[in-house]
Amino acid sequence: MKLASLLLLTILSTNTFSVAANSEVSSIITLDEYIERAMLNIGKRCTMGPRLTVAQVREHNLYAQNLGLITAEAALWGSNNGFYPLIDLFTEREIALVCKA
């Protein structure tokens, strides 16, 4: 009985990991998608609050990259061009907007 339970637990944990890994890969924003989102929001929905510093823009991009939400290329482009992602505060699993600093 213990062996059967252990085997079932191993199978379930392997399948759960595979699903999580696949959903992460499909939701990552590429450089082209990041640029497209950035251009859609220029001067529109990202005008509230104080402007971010260069260091803060870099931090936002690196944080999104570390969460697996954007590629390294998108993070670099955003940091170099003054764009940063606004991450959904409730889930931390999606980019709500890409804004200009």
Whether residue 73 lies inside any domain: the answer is yes
Whether residue 20 lies inside any domain: the answer is no
10: pLDDT confidence band, cut at 50, 70 and 90?
very low
pLDDT score of 20: 43
Q: Give the number of domains in the chain.
A: 1
7: pLDDT confidence band, cut at 50, 70 and 90?
very low
Q: Does the pLDDT value for residue 38 go beyond 90?
A: yes
What's the rounded mean pLDDT across residues 15-31? 57
Whether residue 1 lies inside any domain: the answer is no
Whether residue 16 lies inside any domain: the answer is no
Whether residue 62 lies inside any domain: the answer is yes
The better pLDDT of the pair 43, 88 is held by 88
pLDDT score of 43: 72
Range of the domain at 67: 28-100
Whether residue 12 lies inside any domain: the answer is no
Q: What pTM did the predictor assign?
A: 0.70
Distance separating alpha carbons of residues 81 and 70, to the nearest angstrom: 15
Residue 97 is classified by DSSP as: E
